[in-house]
Structure 1
Amino acid sequence: MRRGVFITGTDTDVGKTVVTTGLLAALRARGKDIGVMKPFQSGSIIKGDKMLAPDLEFVLDRVNLDDDYDLMNPIRLKEPLAPSVAAQIEGVKVEVDKVTKAYEELLKNRESLIVEGAGGLMVPLAQNFLIPDLIKLLNLPIIIVARPNLGTINHTVLTIEVARSLGIEVLGVIINGLKEDEQGLAEKTNPEVIEKWTGIPVLGIIPYLDDLDDGEKLSQVFEKRVDLERVIEKN
């Protein structure tokens, strides 16, 4: 399979979808023909007679893409739980082949893809199938999204070390949601400490953004704040 990048996090609600959108917008603004994929979405929303993926909706509201919705998000589940748990409760059989076929189909029209995971690295997606299994199946390097505050060293180093132990390439870390006017010593020193103890670069630090509705502004923030050249180099 052709390469792209997989976005995972140190936990849920660390801003993976914001980072996915920002990277996508910034790289497309540079002329890169990059698409997006959210293979597994739990906590789906109902609009009319359709079940939609809120994370994908966030992206599409800010970045203009015309790829098939069911390819960008092949697995949608109602309950806001780990996908394997939601599927079991809902009586849904998760077909991993459906995900890999969707990935291959999307790449017929795109240079590469930004693929967003679900929750943190070790989330179960199906029976005996975790997020690292999907990452290895797609043969993608990962970017880890982390919080800026106290505790993120532990969470980030653990995530990196687990990924390495499983043979997954870690491209870098993006710290998301820094309140620059409130940052203390932890926020100021965390990036350097993470790099020192892991040897993995912090690709960027994204400030806390009050307005996330404007895709062009997101693109500008990521162009300014993230080492996009390193991301492009791997794709």
Structure 2
Amino acid sequence: MAMACFVTGTDTGVGKTLVSAGLLHALARHHRRVVGMKPVAAGVVPWGGDVASEDAIALRAASTLAVPAALDNPVLLPDPLSPHIAAARAGVQIDIAAIVQSYQALAGQADAVVVEGAGGFHVPLSDTTTGADLAQALALPVVLVVGLRLGCLNHALLTAEAVRARGLTLAGWVANRVDPAMLAADENIAYLRARLRAPLLAEVPHQAAPDARTLAFDLPEQWR
């Protein structure tokens, strides 16, 4: 079975896709067949004569294994909204069991899989399910992307608590300097190092045009 992880964030817009693509590049140094998965994506752009999610496109570019869209992005919703609203507008019911089946088929072809969640950990997928339910169903170790900006300490600690409450392992976290004007960013990182009870896998500098290939990760030994 493939090595795999689930990437979540302290919020939307904190760099989950950048970090997921960076993880794929890092894993490709140790595994031949690496692939990204975006189970649920909301919002599309033109791509290859059709449409696709920008996040899925970025993950495909960082993958070494090409797979059908039904496997790496089984739920693609047109409107860039919270998934439960986008799904309702599209007349789609997000089926967690079906997503798990797509993941299992994907993992059967790959040596390493990086699954990127939508939004934050508890983003709604329907009136009764959230991204946390999907993460729990996949039962993968979780990587938390912390967007370094005011309020991130509370968001990071709450998310870590929610991850563990689902019986999941917080395998590590990534500090992403999304706000170049943030005061005391280093002190915030130090605070989280002492309290998240998981290794800091990478620090992502603020860049006008981030390049996932340049990110440096300290991968857990079992992922190499």
Using structure 1 for the length normalisation, give the TM-score: 0.85
1:198 maps to which residue? Answer: 196
- Which residue is 1:68 aligned to? 68
Segments of 5+ residues of structure 2 without an aligned counterpart are none
Residue 226, structure 1, aligned to residue 217, structure 2: yes
Instruction: Evaluate the alpha carbon distance shift between residue 169 and residue 234 of structure 1 in structure 2; reply closer, same or farther with a 3 A threshold.
Output: farther
How far apart, in 2, do the equivalents of 1:212 and 1:188 lie?
A: 20
Tell me whether 1:130 sits opposite 2:121 in the alignment.
no
CA contact (8 A) 1:44 1:54 kept: yes
Change in 2 beyond 3 A, CA 1:65/1:32: closer
The alpha carbon displacement at 1:135 in A equals 1.1
Q: Distance in 2 between matches of 1:20 and 1:147?
A: 14
CA distance change for structure 1 residues 83 and 178 in 2, over 3 Å: closer, same or farther? closer
More displaced 10-residue stretch of structure 1: 53-62 or 138-147: 53-62
TM, length-normalised to structure 2: 0.89
Deviation at 1:47, TM superposition (A): 4.6
Question: Superposed, which structure 2 residues align to 1:152-231 within 5 Å?
Answer: 152-177=152-177, 184=183, 186-212=184-210, 218-219=212-213, 221-222=214-215, 225-228=216-219, 230=220
CA distance in 2, matches of 1:164, 1:62: 29
Between the two proteins, the alignment pairs up a number of residues equal to 224
User: CA distance change for structure 1 residues 199 and 95 in 2, over 3 Å: closer, same or farther?
Assistant: closer
Q: How does 1:17-166 map to 2 (within 5 A)?
A: 17-47=17-47, 50-166=50-166
Q: Could you say what the CA RMSD is over the residues aligned between the two structures, in angstroms?
A: 2.3
Return the letter of the residue paired with 1:23: L
CA spacing shift, 1:103–1:152, aligned 2, 3 Å: same
Cα displacement string for residues 46-84 of structure 1 (whole angstroms, at most 9, x for unaligned residues): 457623111011222344431222210000001111212
Q: Which amino acid aligns with 1:152?
A: C
Residues 1:233 and 1:206: Cα distance change in structure 2 (over 3 Å): same
Helix, strand or coil at the partner of 2:125: strand
Secondary structure of 1:124's match? coil
Task: Provide the C-alpha distance between the structure 1 equivalents of 2:151 and 2:126, rounded to a whole number of angstroms.
Answer: 29
Whether the 8 Å CA contact 2:5–2:143 is kept in 1: the answer is: yes
Mapped to 1, the partners of 2:32 and 2:170 lie a distance apart of 22
Alignment partners' CA distance in 1, 2:63 and 2:21: 7
SS for the counterpart of 1:126 is coil
Identical counterparts, % of pairs: 32
Deviation of 1:4 (Å): 0.8
**In 1: Cα distance, 2:6 partner to 2:12 partner:** 15
Q: 1:178 to 1:44 in 2, by over 3 A?
A: closer
